[in-house]
């Protein structure tokens, strides 16, 4: 009983990356972006060499939030180079990971994280007035997803193979640079992803704005057949296809994205497999772990796996008041279902690594049991005077010592068993957008941000400028934070 309590307590005491970065999250939720950046720079866990990629991703977004767009892109470029060069695990780290937990290895990033940095590079270039460079970054997202997927064997490839939101961003940037044909192709490709998935993709319904963009660009290009097909499908009024002399797209990032926690599973041996199951979002998830040949199951069979936790956000959705009417700011990207899918796909590819880690710990506990047995029997092995009853007792003592030694080894293995809970935690929960026409002069809009306790309002002013402006800002808490003085914001907050 005592050993069981010790085991439970030890497992509970394992701290996750979310706990280790609590000061950063506290600052973000308070709207203290400079404080979050400062705490990231001082965080001992983040500054470890094995966490270099994680540090760069966190710092890149924090620099962006602080309006340091050039520095943010410099940081993200470092991360991109590290990813492209393939992060290597040295022999010592590999051994440590097998005998303890995978957090001893360098953090290599989830696949969706590796491409999301290009979205932020695009935003930074937009803020710096470099739309062509922004377009290059937006196009890299799906190129990189394809590259990542090519290296995985058949039957173990990612389900998240293409990003519809990045194609929408591509289309907007093509329009921003005057390439309407490129914009139409990007919008069409995005629409086809939605259409192939029941008009919903990773929790995001087909945006109404995407329908309008397809109608408008096909009409501008004189693609009569395509225009008529889309008009019949969408049933929208003809005026939505009219080109406006000046427009703004407002990108609103809301909240904080999912954080990784861990689940400690107790495995049951069934033939050639260990079996365990757990609940996630109301669904039962089964895990089958192949048992390496010759593995002795022992007494305590624990396996830690990572699991994404959806964080509560102050706001659920928002609208923009346009000419007295509330127009929804539409959902364009939800990171929670994407993150879950990427993690599940990666775990399927790494099931053998989990089995080897489990077997290595079992092997260590068997060795400890053998040592304990030797210690228990060694002191009396040279004594020849024994009764048969004493011989039986001696054998029992050695067996008990072996069992106790192995139990201690199993407990030690369970204590060090820990999931890799590292993930890019400064990402937003969702990305939302809206497109509005602009009138001559300054255009003042009210954003209504809805939460559990009603709504807050924020006024933004956008100056008139012919063509398409692309603007972005973030709400991580209920405290609206004005653009920092170091930035050159396209949207001014009042």
Spatial contact of 194 and 187, defined as CB atoms under 8 Å apart: no
Class of residue 2 by CB neighbours under 10 A (exposed 0-12, middle 13-18, buried 19+): exposed
- Rounded to a whole number, what is the distance in angstroms from the first to the last CA of the chain? 62
What pTM value is reported for the model? 0.81
In the prediction, which pLDDT does 412 show? 40
Report angle CA 67, 72, 73 to the nearest 5 degrees: 125
Cα 119 to chain centroid distance, Å, stands at: 14
DSSP 73-94: HHHHHHHHHHHHT-----HHHH
In the prediction, which pLDDT does 484 show? 34
Q: Answer positive or negative: Cα dihedral of 142, 147, 152, 154.
A: positive
Spatial contact of 33 and 481, defined as CB atoms under 8 Å apart: yes
Which residues have a Cβ under 8 Å from the Cβ of 383 and sit 6 or more positions away?
Answer: none
Spatial contact of 402 and 369, defined as CB atoms under 8 Å apart: yes
What is the DSSP secondary structure assignment for residue 154, as one 8-state letter?
T
Backbone φ, ψ for residue 101 (5° rounding): -155, 160
In the prediction, which pLDDT does 371 show? 39
Dist CA 282 CA 271 (whole Å): 28
User: Which segments of the chain have a pLDDT < 70?
Assistant: 1-14, 85-101, 267-274, 289, 291-302, 352-417, 478-494
Dist CA 200 CA 41 (whole Å): 39
Q: Tokens standing for 296? A: 């002795």
Spatial contact of 362 and 300, defined as CB atoms under 8 Å apart: no
Element (H or E) spanning 124, and its range?
helix 111-127
Dist CA 15 CA 104 (whole Å): 14
- 44 SS3 class: coil
DSSP H helices in 13-110: 17-20, 22-29, 33-42, 52-65, 69-84, 91-99
In the prediction, which pLDDT does 487 show? 33
In the prediction, which pLDDT does 386 show? 45
């Amino acid at each position: 009983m005592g050993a069981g309590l010790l085991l439970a307590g030890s497992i509970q005491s394992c701290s996750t990356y979310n706990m280790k970065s609590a000061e950063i999250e506290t600052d973000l939720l308070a709207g203290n972006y400079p404080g979050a950046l400062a705490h990231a720079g001082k965080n001992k866990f983040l500054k470890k060499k094995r966490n270099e990629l994680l540090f760069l991703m966190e710092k890149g977004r924090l620099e962006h939030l602080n309006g340091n767009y050039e520095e943010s892109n410099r940081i993200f470029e470092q991360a991109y180079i590290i990813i492209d060069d393939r992060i290597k695990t040295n022999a010592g780290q590999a051994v440590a990971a097998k005998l303890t937990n995978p957090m001893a290895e360098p953090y290599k990033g989830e696949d969706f994280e590796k491409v999301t940095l290009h979205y932020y590079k695009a935003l930074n270039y937009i803020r710096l007035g470099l739309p062509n460079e922004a377009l290059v970054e937006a196009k890299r997202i799906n190129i990189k997803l394809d590259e990542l997927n090519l290296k995985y064997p058949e039957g173990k490839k990612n389900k998240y193979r293409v990003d519809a939101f990045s194609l929408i961003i591509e289309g907007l940037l093509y329009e921003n640079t005057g390439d309407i044909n490129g914009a139409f192709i990007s919008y069409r490709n995005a629409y086809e992803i939605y259409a192939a998935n029941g008009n919903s993709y990773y929790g995001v319904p087909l945006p109404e704005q995407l329908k309008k963009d397809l109608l408008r660009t096909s009409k501008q290009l004189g693609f009569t057949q395509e225009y008529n097909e889309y008009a019949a499908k969408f049933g929208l009024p003809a005026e939505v296809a009219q080109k406006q002399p000046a427009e703004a797209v407002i990108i609103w990032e809301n909240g904080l994205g999912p954080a990784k926690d861990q689940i400690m599973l107790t495995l049951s041996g069934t033939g050639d497999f260990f079996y365990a199951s757990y609940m996630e979002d109301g669904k039962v998830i089964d895990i089958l772990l192949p048992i390496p040949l010759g593995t002795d199951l022992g007494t305590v069979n624990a396996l830690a796996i990572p699991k994404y936790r959806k964080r509560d956000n102050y706001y659920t959705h928002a609208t923009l008041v346009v000419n007295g009417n509330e127009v929804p700011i539409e959902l364009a990207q939800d990171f929670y279902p994407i993150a879950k899918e990427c993690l599940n796909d990666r775990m399927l590819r790494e099931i053998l690594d989990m089995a080897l880690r489990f077997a290595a710990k079992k092997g260590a506990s068997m060795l400890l049991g053998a040592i304990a047995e030797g210690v228990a029997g060694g002191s009396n092995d040279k004594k020849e005077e024994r009764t048969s009853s004493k011989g039986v007792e001696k054998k029992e003592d050695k067996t008990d010592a072996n069992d106790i030694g192995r139990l201690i080894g199993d407990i030690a293995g369970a204590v060090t068993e820990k999931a890799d809970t590292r993930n890019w935690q400064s990402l937003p929960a969702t990305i939302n957008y809206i497109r509005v026409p602009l009138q001559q002069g300054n255009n003042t809009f009210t954003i209504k941000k809805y939460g559990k306790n009603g709504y807050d309002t924020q006024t933004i002013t956008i100056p008139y400028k012919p063509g398409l402006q692309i603007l972005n800002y973030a709400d991580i808490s209920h405290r609206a934070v004005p653009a920092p003085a170091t930035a050159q914001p396209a949207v001014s907050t009042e």
